[in-house]
Amino acid sequence: MKLRTYAGYNEMCRATAEIILNQVKLKPDSLICLTSGDTPAGIYKLLVQYQKEKKVDFSQCYFVGLDEWVGMDKNDAGSCTNFLYESFFTPAKIASSRMMVFDAKAADLDASCRTMDAFINEKGPLAIMLVGIGMNGHLGLNEPGADFNSYAHHSPLAPITIEVGQKYFQQETKLTEGITLGLKHLQEAQIPMLLASGKKKATIVAKALQGEVTNKVPASIFQTLGNGYAMMDEDAASGLVD
């Protein structure tokens, strides 16, 4: 794992965006996994800007969404997919044929998982997989206890995820289950990238990157990923021991 610490959030976003930029230049039809949330927002803003400036062309790329709240889709404000559409897919004019997101409203969620896995197997391997780190060390919606060998799956949400997840909604919203790419996808990605920003993430970042490797802290899997990147600002890295 390559640990990269930057003076601030903007510098972290720019460095991450440039890694994505270089990958797309190297392989224009790369398959890229995008995560939702506050941390990647600045990265997507830069990528859209780069495309407008013709520094990069995403038209041949394929994209997958990392996860989703079960029972929601792109039309639900606060959903993961809604965020990806508003922050990247729509402004970057990504064709629907070149993206795959979870059908989290499906009657058969297992079938939705199989559809996602099949898309990745067909278009892959995953060139870049972006993930944030939750306050409990989750990656995507791989909650503590998630199987390191799992592919796409759905499972109950941890109480802290339900609590923190409310920030994405204008009113209190019932969240019970998540559907997500698995930790095996992360291990198979050519460039897995962990994103972290802010003091509030310092304790869990230190636990994940310098503590025991265990599925009780899913993000600790990054310690085993020689090709992985941990991208963070100084605040998020402030708990790490030299």
pLDDT in tens, 47-84: 999 999 999 999 999 999 999 999 999 999 999 999 99
What value does the mean pLDDT take over residues 201-208?
Answer: 98
Residue appearing with tokens 């897995």: 192
Residue appearing with tokens 């997919």: 81
Model confidence at 242: pLDDT above 90: no
> Is the CB of residue 12 less than 8 Å from the CB of residue 233?
yes
CA-to-CA distance for 108 and 114, rounded, in angstroms? 10
> Is the CB of residue 196 less than 8 Å from the CB of residue 205?
yes
* Fold entry, domain 2-233: Rossmann fold (3.40.50)
What the block records as the tokens of 181 is 């790419």
Question: In the structure, what pLDDT confidence band is assigned to residue 154 with cuts at 50, 70 and 90?
Answer: very high
Model confidence at 7: pLDDT above 90: yes
CA-to-CA distance for 124 and 88, rounded, in angstroms? 20
DSSP assignment, residue 85? I
What the block records as the tokens of 58 is 């995403």
pLDDT at 95: 97
CA-to-CA distance for 25 and 55, rounded, in angstroms? 9
**Percent share of the chain, pLDDT over 90:** 99
What value does the mean pLDDT take over residues 182-197?
Answer: 98
pTM of the model: 0.97
pLDDT at 28: 98
Model confidence at 160: pLDDT above 90: yes
* Residue positions annotated with a catalytic role: 67, 136, 138, 143
Length of the chain as a residue count: 242
Strand partners for 100: 64
Of 82, 13, 26, 20, the C-alpha closest to 51 is: 20
CA-to-CA distance for 2 and 230, rounded, in angstroms? 6
